Amino acid sequence: MIEPIHFWAALRRSWRLLAALALLFAVVAVLLPVSHAVGQKDNPVLWRATSIVGAPPSNGIVGTGNVTLAQIIFFANSFEVKESAISAAKPPGSPVRVFLAMKAAPQAASKSKSGGSGKKNQTGLALLAASGQTPDVAATLCNDWAKALGIKLAAVAAATAATSNKPKSSSGTAASPPTGYQILLPAQPATATRTISKTSNLTSSRKVRALAGVVIGLLVAAGIVLISQLLNKRLREASRAEAHFKFPVVAEIPEPWPAEVDEGVQPIVVTSDPTSGAAEAYRKLRMSVMFEAMAPAGVPSGAYQEQYADNLLLAPIEPYNAPARGSRSVILVVSPGAEGSRPQVVANLSATFAEAGQRVIVTSAGEIGSGTSAGYEVNHVGAIGTDEIRAQLQPASIENVSMLSLRPFVKNSAQLVGRAGAVFEAARQLADVVIVEAPPFLEVHHGGALVHAVDVVLVVGEYGNTTLDDADQTGVLLRRLGAPVLGVVFTQVPLPKGQRVRRGSSAPAPATIAVPVVEVAQVPGQFPVETQA
C-alpha cells in the first residue's frame, strides 16, 4: 500500500530549504574554476585544403596589381562564384559531396608597406579554404574555386572597361585591362588537413552557470523533500490523521506562537490569550463535544475514509439527532503515546466549559499505578457517593474548575474497570462536565479500562509526533473495544506566517477567569499542575 504524498504542500512548508540550496548551488557554480577556452574537436569526415590567390603590387614579383584585395574577397565569397566552383568540382550525378565549407579571407602576409610611406597596399593576397570528404575532393574544389574567381574578376574588369573612356582595340572595342589576378599557390591533396569544429563553452558565462546552479539547487531540494515525505511516518496533515485513525478530525489546534522557551511549560491559551486562534479552536472543540454526531463504529465513511485502500464499504449515514442534555457529561481524552499536547487539550477544554459558567471536574488516570505495587492507601473502599467526591475536590486556579484525585478510590489500574464508573457517576452529580485524562493508550491499559465508563472519547493526534503506525493501532483498539469515540483532536498544527501573533497582543482575559495568565507545568500522565505566572 502506497502512502499518499502531499508533495506541493510539503514544498510550500520547505520553502526555506529550497531558497537556501538554490542560493548555495548558484554561488558554488559561479565560484568554481571553469576554463573559458573554446572547445575544439577533430572532424573525422571533412578535409580542408587551401589556396593562395591575389594580385601582387606592380613593383612586386608578378602581375600589375589592378585588382584590390577587397574585390578578391568580395567576389570569392559571392554565391555565383561558389556555385560555379561547385558545379565544376562536382559533375551532375556525382555522389561525392564537395560543398561543405568555403571561405575566403585576407592572407596575413599580404599586408606590407610600400615606398616607406607607412600606408597599407590596396592590393594583396587572399586565402581560399574549402572542405570536402577526401583530400582530393577538397583540393579540387579549392582550385576550381580559384579558377572561377579569376573568370569572375576578368568579367568584372571587362564590364568596367566597356563603360569607361579608355583606348579601344583595333576591333573598336575597349581593351580589357589585365587584372593582375593570379593563383600563387594551388591547393594540393598532400597538404590537406582534417577540419576542426569549434564549439563555444556555455559554462564560461557566469550568468548561465548561476542559473544552472539555481535549477540544480531547486531540484536537489525538491528531491530531499520528496525523500523525507516518503520516509516520513508521522502525522503532518489532518487528512492523514483521518485516514489512519479512521475517525474524523473534529478540531485542529494550532501550535502556540511563539513557542515557550521553558521546557514543559505552556499556557492555557483559553485564559491567557482568549482571542487567539488556538483559543477559538478549543471553543469549536467544545461545540463538537456538545453537538457533533459520534463517529460510526466499524468501517468508516465520509471524508475520513482511507481513500487509497481497496474494497471498503461505506457505512450507512444515519440522520442527525441532537444528543440529549447531559448525555455527554464525562469526557475521556486519550492519545496513542506520550503526546505532550494531551494535557493541554484537557486543560483548555475544561477552561472553555468553565468560561461558559459550567462546573468542571478534572481528573487523571495517570496517577493510578499498575499492579499491586501502587504504594498508597485507598480511603474509600465501599460505595462512592457525592459526599466522598466532594471531600476530595481541590479548587483549581480557574474559576468553576476543580481537581479530583482517583487515588482515594482506586488502589491500582486493575480496579479502574469496576471503580472508575462509580467515581464518574458520583462526580457528574456535582459538576456539569467531568474530563478524564488517560496515560498513553498503547503503552498501558488505563485508557482501555475507562472507555465504557465515559460518554465521549477524544483521541489526540499530534503534528510531527504521532506516528502513522500508532494512529493505526489506536484506531483499531478503540473500535475493537467499542469506545464511544467522537473523533480526533489534531494538535500542534503549524501556523501560517501571517497568522503568527505574539501572546499578550490580544484582549485581556474575561472577568470570569480567576487568574488572567496561567502557566501549566506538564507532568507526563497527569493533568497539568497550574501555577501563577
Select from 104, 101, 103 the least CA-distant residue to 132.
101
Q: Give CA–CA dist 443/437, Å, rounded.
A: 14
Q: Which residue has the cell 487509497?
A: 308
Confidence label for 305 from pLDDT (cuts 50, 70 and 90): very low
Q: Which residue has the cell 558565462?
A: 205
Residue 398 CB neighbour total at 10 angstroms:
23
Tell me the pLDDT of the chain averaged across its residues: 76
- Per residue in 332-354, pLDDT tens? 999 999 898 999 999 999 999 99
Q: Give CA–CA dist 243/90, Å, rounded.
A: 77
- Per residue in 420-439, pLDDT tens? 999 999 999 999 999 999 99
Q: How far is CA 377 from the centre of its chain?
A: 58
Residue 18 CB neighbour total at 10 angstroms:
18
Q: 517 near 509, Cβ under 8 Å? A: yes
Instruction: Enter the C-alpha cell of residue 316.
Output: 450507512
Q: Name the helix (H) or strand (E) containing 209.
A: helix 206-231
- Phi first, then psi, for residue 457 (nearest 5°) are -120, 125
Confidence label for 404 from pLDDT (cuts 50, 70 and 90): very high
Question: Greater confidence, 275 or 97?
Answer: 275
Task: Report if pTM > 0.75.
Answer: no
